Structure 1
Amino acid sequence: MNRTLAPRVERPTDPLETGFRPAVVVAKAPHVTHTQTKELSHMKARILIGTFAAAGLALGVGQMTATAVPGDGGTSETQAGTDVIVGAINGVSNYGTNTVNGVAMYGYAFGTTSCNIGTAVLRWSTNSSFHPVIPQNAYRIKDGRIEQIGLSWMKYGFCALQENLCATCQAGGVGCGSSQSTLGIGCSDPYSSSLNGSQSSLGPRSRVNASTGYFPGDTSAEIGSWPAMPAGQGNINRRIQIKRDDLIPANNVGAVYLAEGLYVHPDDAAAGNDNNNVSYIKVNVSATNYNMSLSGATFQQKPAIYHWATVVPTVAYSVADMADGRFIVANNVSQNANGTYHYEYAIYNQNSDSSGGSFAIPLAAGVTVTNATFKDISYHSNEIYDGTDWSITNTGT
């Protein structure tokens, strides 16, 4: 989703159990991962990262030790009201390569199978505001760091089959063939990777409110208002775009790749069941055309940022529930050979439409900060967000 710039309001995160409390400045923009690294010898002053909204996640410096259990609603139990989850990521399509601003990119799409684990049917009406939209993301864990390396525009749903992936599908849903389709209780609906990669039904994240799930119905007039696809990039426009350098196996030895899917729906958000809508799976990347293949089972009802601790067991998490959505903060601390410490922070904006505009970390006296870096993901296909990297400032206070 992700929104553009707007006046910033500083809101603290939820208590972060350490006496260390970063502050998030809220602006406009969600659903991406920024990463930040630094090396510190004690801690002093205050580090501020960011001056305006970026992709929805931000990273910083400083040690934070807090824990969290993945996702409220991260359960297979029936939830009250409509509750759509990603039951499976079911396939990958590779659309080949193209060049964007002189950089070789590859285009992909991931298939997703939704499940309604709630107690009410889920509206899936064609050309309306009451069907899901489905963003897809790609991540890499390499050299102890998690980075988001790709994102797509949002697939607009159009009808729902009534299958049985997650539970026994109950009667009452309305399948394809009706403009007023619904996903029944306990039912699942597969969208293949080719369907999720169909460019004509991929809409901009900027048109969707990440918190409420609302978006203008995909009427002909609405679709006509979407940003035009850039010329010369036909095979990768609006799809997941990943730099070739992030895929070359010889340059990414030991890297772990993750594919993530998310369903956003206004009825699901209104029912308070929108913290379990994202799932991920491991993928392998081959040296042949950088084709991807699924590896293992889908990790249901939690975002890919939680896999960082699977690869790096010392990673800690904290969930920060804001007024309009959820951030997940992950961090890892390691000691350098020279006695200093290396800090990695990743901040995931799951469903806050206000989004993160900056990230502040108080530092104790006597700190020297070196090698500060920032990493996020670039929007593409004429999406409206400003992709300027966040700045890093030591305020000395």
Structure 2
Amino acid sequence: GCTGYTSTIEDLVVSIGDEIWIRVGGWQPGDAGTGTLSVQFSPALVDNLIADSQPGSGIIDVSWQAISDLTATALLIDGVPYASTGAVAAGTLLQQQVSGFLWPAPVEICLMSSSPGGSAVPICTAVDVLATAVEVVSGSTGSIVDDSVTIASVTVNNNAIPADLRVEIDIDHPRISDLRIRLLSAEGEQLVLQEGASGSGLDAIYWQPATPAAPPFNVGATMRPSGPGSLLDLCNSIAAGEWTLEIEDLVAGESGTLVEWSLVFFDVPPAYLPAPDLIAGDHQQMSQLGREGDEVGLMLQSVCCNHGDEPLDWHGNPSPLHPFMVFNLYRISEERIVQVGSSWAKHAPGPATTANACGLGCTVPSDPYTLGIGCSDIYSAGYNGTQSVLGPRSEIDPWSGSYDYNNSILNGPLGSVTPVDRRLRIHDADLDPTANPDSDLIVEALYIAHDDPNPGDNTIHETVSITSGAPGGTWQFSLADPGQLGPAILAWTGSTISQITPGDGSDGMAIIAAKAFPLDDSESSWRYEYAIWNHNLSRHVGTVEIPLTPGVQITDPYFHAPQIESLGYIDLPWQIELDSSAIRWIAPQQNPLRWGYLYNFAFTATAAPVPGDVHATGHDVAGDIVVESLIPGGPITPPMRRGDCNADSGIDIADAVTALDILFMGGASPACTDSCDTNDDGQLNIADPIALLTWLFGSGTPLPAPHPGCGQDPTVDSLDCLEGTPCR
């Protein structure tokens, strides 16, 4: 039996009264059957997503506009969370400058957004991030002769061997499928740029790291040459000399015009070239497979798709050349995201199937032990929960995808296991919706593959609804909402998201999300909540340090790690250190923050949040990684009223008498001496009661800020305000 699968149609404007026709077909020849088709419409929440990059900058300028009131947005770069925003009003124009990714390369920008009414389907756009060109030359133009070969040429002056090449072509022709377009270098190397296109007209940019050529071909899109071969094959010798564009019209009856064409040479190679790309598809099934006391063993269906340009290895054990899949559960409230469940790593067996669950169009590979381009491999929750195919995460390097079967627990008999061992384990108390009325349950799937150079899009998360069940019994689940690209930490809306990565390509990344909440109306005390999720940082995280400004008071420090079934590790708490300069959490040797897990860090501070650096240190590999997040700013001065020296919430002659009593009669100093500093000169002296009396009964100048209201003293001085004056 087929379970259920999801397809997404984007940018379809739906109006009241529209009639929509949907055709559903089988994935393979002869596939047929009956079922239920459910259609869910998602509102458009943002518009005008624009990404632009100046050559040589390595920077992308991104902007978008909210067309509805938003609770949060998250920006993803090639599937990796980059930045997030809190609530914004409809009509707001938002901008973000993006850097720190691999380039030169085509980069995909995706935007996830949510509103009080729910989440929208992510919208995406692409931008080519280029090096500075060393030479740009434009070739000859003219008519394209029908049923013949047309030759155009250009002279290149660059006497160096280029590292990269882009070709831009604009052709006016009513039937572009008639044409085969070939580029020949000055040394005679040749490459078919385009053959078998469709439609009328060709306006395209050919670049080797781009996606395969696909319609429409007349909108100026960047695409890979048809080949065989590569543009980089034309970059093996000095570029100088005459280059030729050969346009062969294969079918009589139509002629056209070569409007323009150019060659763009670079001395920097592409950051990466076509490769497999394992992505996570939408899941439809989560099942309870066992129980041990108050703990249940669940498992999630998996949908693995190859979004890349080459087949993906899919060899089962004992070969290490296969993907690994892990599954996690979280509880998310306004204040905190907490991991409440995790599984061991499921090892994909071979051969792979050739389904088309992600709608990419499956190209069946010649090697059945690979996942073909566009193909998908789907496993039920029951099969994923088979304990004999589940191994410890610690046996896998999440950054390289390497794994040694010879030393694996799977290289041997299963041994004794309980009904929950190795599966997605969670306690009844964390599942029970009546015990968790203010939080949502989120499931997450994370895939790792050794031959996936773009691991940023290999996670997906979605909301879990509990349809029936009770503690001690069998739980039933629904995954009705479409899955959202990226890890579950993105569902903690309103948090500030940043990456923890060494930045030199030597390791993967973790993600830190931060929130700060005022605990009282005066905003003199704030609760800071941090969650760090390790995506594929193989060195693990061993220390987290948040700097403090002198004078900031810290109370109620907190640490939480999920209960983890593991080999070689123990669920021990992290040590918390606090001094005047920082608060630190230090991992014991047996419990660093490992890949696929989320740990929590929190405290209360007498300071409002400001942007600042958080330090994370590797556990297995030394080295400090600095990332910008939220940290406590300077100490918060309680609000006061200028001139209210006796703190009775009024300003009158009694305040001048109180100031004189302090100065000359040995009266007790007030808790807020700043309020007695009437002239705001940073000193408490005779000038203050005189200034107050002059203002009260004469023509004195108005009292300094924060008068006439109540607030902090804007002047830095030696006077204190330990307790604010009444601000009624």
Indicate whether 1:279 and 2:454 are aligned. no
Indicate whether 1:69 and 2:75 are aligned. yes
1:112 to 283, 298, 302: 302
- The number of aligned residues is 309
The residue aligned with 1:395 is 579
Corresponding residue SS for 1:281: strand
Take 2:281 and 2:580, find their aligned partners in 1: how far apart are those partners? 48
Alignment of 1:150-299 (within 5 A): 150-159=341-350, 160-166=352-358, 167-172=360-365, 174-175=367-368, 181-217=369-405, 222-223=408-409, 234-268=418-452, 272-288=453-469, 289-299=474-484
Q: Is the 8 A contact 2:445 2:461 kept in 1?
A: yes
**2:304 partner letter:** S
Q: Is the 8 A contact 1:90 1:113 kept in 2?
A: no
Q: Is the 8 A contact 1:173 1:183 kept in 2?
A: no
**2:439 partner letter:** A
Take 1:283 and 1:267, find their aligned partners in 2: how far apart are those partners? 31
Alignment of 1:1-397 (within 5 A): 69-73=75-79, 78=211, 80-99=274-293, 104-127=294-317, 128-159=319-350, 160-166=352-358, 167-172=360-365, 174-175=367-368, 181-217=369-405, 222-223=408-409, 234-268=418-452, 272-288=453-469, 289-300=474-485, 302-309=486-493, 314-322=494-502, 323-337=506-520, 339=523, 340-380=525-565, 382-397=566-581
Corresponding residue SS for 1:366: coil
**2:572 partner letter:** T
Instruction: Tell me: CA distance 1:206–1:361, structure 2 relative to 1, closer, same or farther (3 Å).
Output: same
**Unaligned ranges ≥5, structure 2:** 1-72, 81-107, 109-123, 127-210, 212-272, 582-728
Instruction: Tell me: CA distance 1:168–1:329, structure 2 relative to 1, closer, same or farther (3 Å).
Output: same
TM-score, normalised relative to structure 1: 0.73
Instruction: Tell me: CA distance 1:173–1:394, structure 2 relative to 1, closer, same or farther (3 Å).
Output: farther
**2:495 partner letter:** V
Instruction: Tell me: CA distance 1:227–1:316, structure 2 relative to 1, closer, same or farther (3 Å).
Output: farther
Take 2:374 and 2:326, find their aligned partners in 1: how far apart are those partners? 22
By how many angstroms is 1:383 displaced? Answer: 2.4
The residue aligned with 1:15 is none
Corresponding residue SS for 1:90: coil
Q: Is the 8 A contact 1:68 1:319 kept in 2?
A: no
Take 2:579 and 2:398, find their aligned partners in 1: how far apart are those partners? 32
**2:564 partner letter:** Y
Corresponding residue SS for 2:492: helix
Instruction: Tell me: CA distance 1:226–1:87, structure 2 relative to 1, closer, same or farther (3 Å).
Output: same
By how many angstroms is 1:286 displaced? Answer: 4.0
Corresponding residue SS for 1:297: coil
Take 1:287 and 1:164, find their aligned partners in 2: how far apart are those partners? 32
RMSD, aligned CA:
2.2
By how many angstroms is 1:227 displaced? Answer: 10
Q: Is the 8 A contact 2:316 2:347 kept in 1?
A: no
1:104-149 per-residue CA deviation (whole Å, 9 max, x = no partner) reads 2111001110110111000101221101111111111035210111
Q: Is the 8 A contact 2:333 2:492 kept in 1?
A: no
Take 2:459 and 2:274, find their aligned partners in 1: how far apart are those partners? 18
Which is greater in Rg? 2
Percent identical pairs in the alignment equals 33
1:203-245 per-residue CA deviation (whole Å, 9 max, x = no partner) reads 111100011110113x6x744557976x5x6211100111211
Take 1:278 and 1:158, find their aligned partners in 2: how far apart are those partners? 20
Corresponding residue SS for 2:288: strand
Instruction: Tell me: CA distance 1:291–1:155, structure 2 relative to 1, closer, same or farther (3 Å).
Output: same
By how many angstroms is 1:363 displaced? Answer: 0.7
Take 2:304 and 2:328, find their aligned partners in 1: how far apart are those partners? 16
Corresponding residue SS for 1:69: strand
Instruction: Tell me: CA distance 1:224–1:246, structure 2 relative to 1, closer, same or farther (3 Å).
Output: closer
